[in-house]
């Protein structure tokens, strides 16, 4: 049985990144999560006990974590909870681990700037023409030109007023974004 958990806390150690001999990127760090509560008698907030977790991210998430998360930052982590008992000679203990599915800055404590990373699976997709994959991965042309990058005129993808069939087919395969009200 797999338990899913969402945590908020403080990154307590510098994220450690490694790549296995099979090429699997892994990033891990320790997360300190302290619950706070309001004490009506004292009329102030008090800290409860701190829970410690080892957070591990794999693949593209691991690469993005090592480039985005630093020690001392507040984050939100969602993933699979694993609790393991261990023994080493005369010492024994319990380790609580989270295999992260999603991870990001906790915006209740500050602001963050998002930069979309290019997925190697989309860029290497055989269905997409190689020179068009980068166009599909980027944001709208208006965003690209606002960032100062070179963007071609939309007429480049048109031949005598007709849409490029490869580009139209690739765009049709893109997921549709739907706004969901809270």
d(CA 147, CA 115): 12
pTM assigned to the model = 0.60
Q: Which pLDDT does position 176 carry in this prediction?
A: 47
Q: Decide if 123 contacts 137 (C-beta within 8 A).
A: yes
Q: What local confidence, expressed as pLDDT, does residue 105 receive?
A: 92
Question: Among residues 48, 47, 66, which one has the least CA distance to residue 57?
Answer: 66
Q: What is the pLDDT of residue 153?
A: 43
Query: What is residue 65's three-state secondary structure?
Result: helix
pLDDT of residue 74: 94
Residue 156: what pLDDT?
A: 42
Q: Are 17 and 62 spatial neighbours (Cβ–Cβ below 8 Å)? A: yes
Q: Tell me if 12 sits within 8 A of 71, measured CB to CB.
A: yes
Per run of 10 residues, the mean pLDDT along the chain (length 182 residues) is 86 93 93 89 88 94 91 94 91 92 91 77 46 44 42 41 51 49 47
Residue 102: closest CA among 65, 135, 50: 65
Which pLDDT score is estimated for 131?
Answer: 46
Q: What is the pLDDT of residue 36?
A: 85
CA–CA gap between residue 56 and residue 14 (Å, rounded):
13
Cα(133)–Cα(83) distance, rounded to whole angstroms? 42
């Amino acid at each position: 049985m797999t338990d899913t958990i969402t945590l908020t806390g403080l990154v307590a150690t510098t994220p450690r990144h490694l790549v296995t001999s099979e090429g699997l990127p892994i990033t891990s760090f320790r997360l300190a999560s302290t619950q706070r509560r309001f004490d009506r008698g004292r009329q102030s907030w008090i800290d409860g006990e701190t829970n410690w977790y080892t957070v591990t991210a794999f693949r593209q998430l691991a690469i993005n974590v090592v480039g985005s998360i630093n020690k001392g930052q507040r984050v939100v982590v969602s993933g699979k909870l694993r609790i393991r008992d261990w023994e080493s000679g005369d010492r024994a203990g319990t380790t609580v681990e989270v295999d992260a599915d999603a991870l990001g800055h906790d915006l209740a404590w500050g602001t963050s700037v998002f930069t979309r990373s290019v997925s190697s699976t989309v860029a290497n997709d055989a269905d997409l023409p190689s020179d068009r994959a980068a166009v599909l991965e980027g944001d709208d042309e208006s965003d690209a030109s606002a960032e100062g990058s070179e963007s071609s005129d939309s007429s480049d993808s048109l031949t005598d007023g007709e849409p490029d069939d490869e580009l139209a087919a690739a765009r049709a395969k893109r997921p549709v974004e739907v706004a969901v009200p809270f």
